Amino acid sequence: MRILHTSDWHLGQHFMGKTRQAEHGALIAWLLDTVVANQVDVVVIAGDIFDTGTPPSYARELYNSLVLGMKEQGCQLVVLAGNHDSVAVLEESQALLGALGTQVVASVGEDATNQLLTLHGATGEAAATLCAIPFLRPRELLQSEAGQDGQAKLLGMQQAIQAHYQGLYDKAKARGLPVVMTGHLTTVGASASESVREIYVGSLEAFPTNAFPAADYIALGHIHRPQKVGGLEHIRYSGSPIPLSFDEARQQKEMLLVELDGALCSVTPIAVPRFQQLASVRCELEGIRAQVQPLTEPLADGERLWLEVVLSSQQYLSDLQARVAEQLDGLPVDLLRLRRERQQQQGIVREHRETLDELNPEEVFARRLANEGLSGELNLALTERYQATLAALREAK
């Protein structure tokens, strides 16, 4: 059988004031064509289908169009909740989507065996067992104990996650089929990008690779860079299908085609086209046009480049925006972020006379929160609430 592993779609994301609606629509159309061309039996989205817990209406419409498209192609779809997703939002349509061939696992729930799904091959036979494990929240696995310090909580959470994986693996293995597992978490050694918000803050920093059971394949989400975990062929992050931050602009985004025949046969990356061009350039003020103009030459008529400019100079100029705009005049470019190169000072990342124009709302909030010295769990809760508020404000515009 063939499984297409993807993750971190972040439907509804606003990229520095720009909607990704057109990109995600093009991504869905491309995916449906890819499913047919590669005779895919199952698509697994390993978390963060939405960007926030309160996705805008157009993001829900895209989600529904994906479900209907997969139904029309006769391909199973499995959607796992990530740390950005709302359990309630995903569960509200769970039964309806189930009737359309999409299985949604939003939380651990009272009966963990609900995470054991049977995957069917092209002829309808049971071909693999999927341990469909979503983002695991501490409150789902642990009971808080008075007097526990941070290190004890970290160890307890790690052990609870390991026990959850092992317990499901043992049940799946007893079925006598190849075992595929999912996860939405950070693993030891994984390389992240600036769009990734760390999860399990204050409870678990990174899950050890050797703590995973001996599954045939483990499909991970949360890290946006496609990569093998610990160099292992069968434990993979697919990465996000579109760039979610400027430091991902040069990445070749991909999905992973996993082939099973009694055991893992192969894992083949499938390159995802770029549906919106974006770039980050680092240079002095006077060199902006020389660097940016060649990037615009491959654009088709009507296309525009989303651009970040990082200035090497730390000099503060009151008319900086106007001078940069002059450099870009006449080019098919939308300047989304202008900032100066960050320098390390006393272990803290700072910029000389940094202005609010150089920061996005999430960065401003994160810096303010860092000054409060709050617990990791409270930081995470406040950040999630802030993200939901931002999403509601953007939807109201």
Q: Which tens digits make up the pLDDT trace of 317-336?
A: 678 888 899 999 999 999 99
User: pLDDT at position 201, please?
Assistant: 34
Task: Report the percentage of the chain scoring pLDDT > 70.
Answer: 82
Q: How many CA atoms lie within 13 A of 97 on its CB side?
A: 23
Q: Which tens digits make up the pLDDT trace of 162-213?
A: 999 999 999 999 999 999 999 999 887 666 655 555 444 333 567 888 899 9
Q: Which tens digits make up the pLDDT trace of 233-284?
A: 999 999 999 999 998 999 999 999 999 999 999 999 999 999 999 999 998 8
SS3 42: strand
Q: Are 333 and 292 in contact (CB under 8 A)?
A: yes
Q: Are 282 and 318 in contact (CB under 8 A)?
A: no
SS3 129: strand
Q: Are 59 and 27 in contact (CB under 8 A)?
A: no
Comparing 90 with 151, which gets the higher pLDDT? 90
Q: How many CA atoms lie within 13 A of 352 on its CB side?
A: 10
Q: Which residues, 6 or more positions from 71, have their beta carbon under 8 angstroms from its beta carbon?
A: 100, 101, 102
**How far from the centroid of its chain's Cα atoms is residue 69's Cα?**
22
Residue position matching structure tokens 């995957």: 119
**What's the start-to-end Cα distance of the chain, in Å?**
45
Say how far apart CA 341 and CA 206 lie, in whole Å.
29
User: pLDDT at position 270, please?
Assistant: 98
Say how far apart CA 20 and CA 180 lie, in whole Å.
31
Q: In angstroms, what CA-CA distances link 182 with 196, 297, 298, 397?
A: 18, 41, 38, 36
**Confidence check: pLDDT of 124 > 80:** yes
Q: What DSSP designation does 291 have?
A: H
Q: Are 3 and 40 in contact (CB under 8 A)?
A: yes
The DSSP code sequence of 222-283 is S--S-EEETTEEEEEE---SS--SGGGTTS--EEEEEEESSSEEEEEEEEPPPSS-EEEEEE
Among the residues of 304-375, which ranges form H helices? 320-328, 361-370
Provide the sign of the torsion angle of the four alpha carbons 375, 381, 385, 387, taken in this order.
positive
Average pLDDT over residues 282-309: 93
Q: Are 105 and 116 in contact (CB under 8 A)?
A: no
Relative orientation angle of helices 320-328 and 288-296, to the nearest 10 degrees: 40
Q: Which tens digits make up the pLDDT trace of 59-90?
A: 999 999 999 999 999 999 999 999 999 999 99
Structure token digits, residue 7: 């993750």
Say how far apart CA 26 and CA 276 lie, in whole Å.
10
Predicted TM-score (pTM) of this structure: 0.82
Question: Mean of the per-residue pLDDT values for the chain?
Answer: 85
Q: Is 29 left (phi over 0), alpha (psi -120 to 50) or beta?
A: alpha
For residue 60, what are the β-bridge partners?
Answer: none
SS3 147: coil
Say how far apart CA 9 and CA 47 lie, in whole Å.
8
Task: Report the percentage of the chain scoring pLDDT > 90.
Answer: 62
Q: Are 4 and 43 in contact (CB under 8 A)?
A: yes
Q: Are 76 and 41 in contact (CB under 8 A)?
A: yes
Say how far apart CA 266 and CA 311 lie, in whole Å.
44
